[in-house]
């Protein structure tokens, strides 16, 4: 089973078990989803439950928020996180705030899925990593599943949450293969997980970067360096206790993500420019018994430029049409 299959199976379970659940978004029906995640669901559940929407993120995200206020449990798919900015007002000023603005009277149980990350050479408008920005917004949860079982389980958990949940699926993970237990169901969210124990450095990451970090940790182990790899899993709420405990053990931290260097949640945790490594997140006090921690902190991040387009000539030629999301580009096309 692949990562995309696990998401599809979770949506299928939810659609079968709860009549309030429906999927809406661009090309989720007849086309089967931009990343083929919803392939076959239209034939199984029909156009009332699998709804193709106009190319207007603000409109269909707003419709999903309205449907959730009316008692439904919508799964709203945004093609990539770049396009979610067109619905930012709906997400930040409506979904995230209505519970507070109504004095606790109105929950907004909307779940929004979107692809994130680069690596497919889909150019400047399809390759960003904006999850750190959304993690800055109170009133929503931000999930970043890195494994097949969590891609499946987090979706089911999100549908049970009474408040807005955003799920960021790294596009490079859709072809990830693995096993999904027959009894797989909802998983706990809100806590980080140590994926590999270590003593020399804490590598803090999430999403597709988890697999790079684990590979690097294996290479370091061959040189006698034991890296502890921590998968954040959830960016909001952020499990600073697990981070603090890890850094307290290793006294060093490396933060790995695909976002740009500045303006993100993790930028405040970087090494101080004067050369004194300081962990400035909320976990610093706990790691050092209430005092400022002097543990060395580094971060790897994406280059601060627009990602390049695909080098495949046909993909470049047909970029303005539908060919770039079909079989025209062997670099991208889903298998």
Number of domains in the chain: 2
Catalytic residue chosen out of the listed positions 57, 77, 131, 270:
57
pLDDT score of 323? 35
pLDDT tens-digit readout, 98-112 = 999 999 999 999 999
Residues 8, 101 within the same domain: yes
Residue 322: inside a domain, yes or no? no
Residue 306: inside a domain, yes or no? no
Residue 320: inside a domain, yes or no? no
222-239 mean pLDDT: 97
Q: Are 1 and 148 in contact (CB under 8 A)?
A: yes
Residue 333: inside a domain, yes or no? no
164-168 mean pLDDT: 98
Residue of higher predicted confidence among 150 and 263: 150
Residue 33: inside a domain, yes or no? yes
Residues 90, 203 within the same domain: no
Q: For the chain, how many helices (H) and strands (E)?
A: 11, 12
Residues 163, 211 within the same domain: no
pLDDT score of 260? 80
Residues 284, 140 within the same domain: no
CATH number of the structural domain spanning residue 145: 3.40.50.970
Other residues' Cβ atoms within 10 Å of the Cβ of residue 213? 24
Residues 15, 131 within the same domain: yes
Residue 292: inside a domain, yes or no? yes
Backbone angles phi, psi at 254, to 5 degrees: -125, 120
Q: The tokens 């995230």 sit on which residue?
A: 96
What is d(CA 102, CA 90) in angstroms, rounded to the nearest whole number? Answer: 16
For 182-239, where are the alpha helices, taking DSSP H only? 209-221
Residues 153, 15 within the same domain: yes
Range of the domain at 263: 193-300
Spell out a b/e string for 6-23, using b for 16 or more CB atoms within 10 Å of the CB, else e.
bbbbbbebbbeeeeebbb
CATH number of the structural domain spanning residue 221: 3.40.50.920
Left if phi > 0, otherwise alpha if psi is -120 to 50, otherwise beta: which for 93?
Answer: alpha
Residues 154, 226 within the same domain: no
Residue 148: inside a domain, yes or no? yes
| 126 noted as active-site residue | yes
Rounded to two decimals, the pTM is 0.83
Q: Is the pLDDT of residue 275 over 60?
A: no
| Most confident segment among 46-55, 273-282, 287-296 | 46-55
Residues 31, 146 within the same domain: yes
For the chain, where are the alpha helices, taking DSSP H only? 3-17, 41-45, 57-69, 88, 98-101, 131-134, 148-160, 209-221, 240-250, 283-287, 313-317
What is d(CA 208, CA 147) in angstroms, rounded to the nearest whole number? Answer: 9
Catalytic residue chosen out of the listed positions 26, 126, 128, 131:
126
pLDDT score of 123? 74
Query: Tokens for 290?
Result: 């209430």
pLDDT tens-digit readout, 188-220 = 999 999 999 999 999 999 999 999 999 999 999
Give the chain's mean pLDDT: 84
Residue 278: inside a domain, yes or no? yes
CA-to-CA separations, 275 to 244, 294, 298, in angstroms, rounded: 21, 11, 11
Residue of higher predicted confidence among 115 and 276: 115
pLDDT tens-digit readout, 45-99 = 999 999 999 999 999 999 999 999 999 999 999 999 999 999 999 999 999 999 9
Does residue 309 sit in helix, strand or coil?
coil
Residues 139, 65 within the same domain: yes
Residues 238, 288 within the same domain: yes
| 251 noted as active-site residue | no
Element (H, E) at 82: none
Residues 151, 236 within the same domain: no
Residues 212, 114 within the same domain: no
SS3 sequence of 234-277: EEECCCHHHHHHHHHHHCEEEEECCCCCCCCHHHHHCCCCCCCC
């Amino acid at each position: 089973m692949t990562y995309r299959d696990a998401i599809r199976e979770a949506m299928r379970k939810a659609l079968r078990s709860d009549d309030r659940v429906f999927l809406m978004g661009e090309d989720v029906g007849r086309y089967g989803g931009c990343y083929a995640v919803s392939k076959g669901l239209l034939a199984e559940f029909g156009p009332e439950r699998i709804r193709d929407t106009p190319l207007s993120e603000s409109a269909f995200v707003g419709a999903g928020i309205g449907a959730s206020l009316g008692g439904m449990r919508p799964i709203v798919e945004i093609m990539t996180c770049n396009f979610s900015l067109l619905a930012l007002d709906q997400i930040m000023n409506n979904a995230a705030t209505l519970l507070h603005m109504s004095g606790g009277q109105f929950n907004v149980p909307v779940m929004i899925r979107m692809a994130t990350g680069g690596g497919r050479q889909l150019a400047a408008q399809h390759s960003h990593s904006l999850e750190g920005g959304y993690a800055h917004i109170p009133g929503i949860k931000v999930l970043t599943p890195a494994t097949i079982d969590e891609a499946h389980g987090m979706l089911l958990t999100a549908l049970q949450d009474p408040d807005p949940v955003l799920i960021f699926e790294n596009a490079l993970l859709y072809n990830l293969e693995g096993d999904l237990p027959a009894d797989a169901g909802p998983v706990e969210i809100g806590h980080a997980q140590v994926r590999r124990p270590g003593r020399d450095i804490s590598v803090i990451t999430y999403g597709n970067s988890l697999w790079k970090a684990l590979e690097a940790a294996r290479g370091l182990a061959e040189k006698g360096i034991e890296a502890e790899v921590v998968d954040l899993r959830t960016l909001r709420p952020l499990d600073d206790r697990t981070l603090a405990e890890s850094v307290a053990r290793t006294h060093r931290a490396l933060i790995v993500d695909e976002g740009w260097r500045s303006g993100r949640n993790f930028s405040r945790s970087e090494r101080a420019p004067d050369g004194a490594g300081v962990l400035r997140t909320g976990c610093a006090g706990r790691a050092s018994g209430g005092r400022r921690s002097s543990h060395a902190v580094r971060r790897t991040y994406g280059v601060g430029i627009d990602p390049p387009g695909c080098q495949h000539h046909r993909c470049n030629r047909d970029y303005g049409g539908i060919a770039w999301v079909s079989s025209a580009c062997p670099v991208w096309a889903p298998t």
